[in-house]
Amino acid sequence: MSLNDTKFGEELCKTFWDCINGSIHSGSGNYRVGVDLGTANVVTAVVDGDDNPVAGRIKRAEVVRDGIVVNFVEARNIVESMLQELRQDLGADLEYGACAVPPGTREGDFRAVRYVVESAGLQVSDVFEEPVAATKVLGMEDQVIVDIGGGTTGISIVKSGQVIYTADEPTGGVHFTLVIAGNYGIDIDEAEEMKLNAVNHRRLLPIVKPVMEKVATIIHEHIMGHGVEKICLVGGTSSFEGLKDVVEQITGIPVYVPEHCILVTPLGIALSCRRGGFK
């Protein structure tokens, strides 16, 4: 099996999911770390020298907004304590890592993300563009990746490992939550809990469908004329049942959603981190 295999990507994400849920293996050492500072979640992934996920953490946090660090101290503290826990889990030091930013992030913001991770105690070998990191898990360097995360929908056309077209539009998971809160007259936290439980998705579908249609229309407008044959959805919001169908209906293009779509980018960051012969 190789990394250029979608099924293998799914398996990697499943293994990483199990790691986050407590199944730690020390693997073969030579660890690399990927840190994804998202608008809704901070995710840290550790892979070993054979590219196997070995440990990880995910935490809800509002410390970065669309690649811009809005709470430096808290962001650093979260990453630092995740790294401490992960070192304990693995009984080993973690020295090297990488992070990522949405494509099009300005250089100053780019640097702030790096500083967060460096001040949390990692040597940062690379800062990647998020969709480029995601291709490492999805296989094939040519991909249309739509990342529907907390605040935005990011559309990236990646060819031969380079982002050749990118756009980021301000509709994401938070808009789903707002519509649910408004519909039921409940607060945001309650609406978020309701949304995160997949059991509720079918009943919530008519309520959130206009937001899904907006996301799908955004995707359609950006990819029109690019000869796109397949769309891959990543990011937590892509888990919403029914979104895939709405995007297929509006774009007329087949859509693929990896099972653990929330983990694709963080795992891709760790896998993309350059090897340095370190331990």
User: Please, which residue, 37 or 92, has the CB nearer to Mg ion?
Assistant: 37
Q: What letter represents residue 140's amino acid? A: M
Q: Give the integer Cα–Cα distance in Å for 117 and 37.
A: 9
Q: How far is the CB of 93 from ligand ATP (least distance, A)?
A: 27
In the chain, where does DSSP find H-type helix?
6-20, 72-90, 107-119, 130-138, 173-184, 188-196, 201-223, 243-251, 264-272
Mode of pairing for the β-strands spanning 123-129 and 162-169 = unpaired
Tell me the three state secondary structure of residue 101.
Answer: strand
Element (H, E) at 128: strand 123-129
Q: Which of 24, 68, 178, 196 binds ligand ATP (CB under 6 A)?
A: 196
Piece of the chain touching ligand ATP by CB under 6 A; list 19-27, 85-93, 108-116, 145-153: 145-153
Tokens 């992960």, located at residue: 86
Contact 105, 67 (CB under 8 A): yes
- Of 53, 97, 103, 236, which lies in the binding site for ligand ATP, with binding defined by CB under 6 A? 236
Site for ligand ATP in 23-52 (CB under 6 A): 38-41
Q: Is 219 in the site for ligand ATP (CB under 6 A)?
A: no
Task: Name the minimum Å distance from CB 187 to ligand ATP.
Answer: 15
Q: Is 105 in the site for ligand ATP (CB under 6 A)?
A: no
Number of residues binding to ligand ATP, judged by CB under 6 A: 23
Contacts of ligand ATP in 54-73 (CB under 6 A): 66
The residues binding ligand ATP (CB under 6 A) are 38-41, 66, 147, 149-152, 172-174, 192, 195-196, 198, 235-237, 239-240, 262
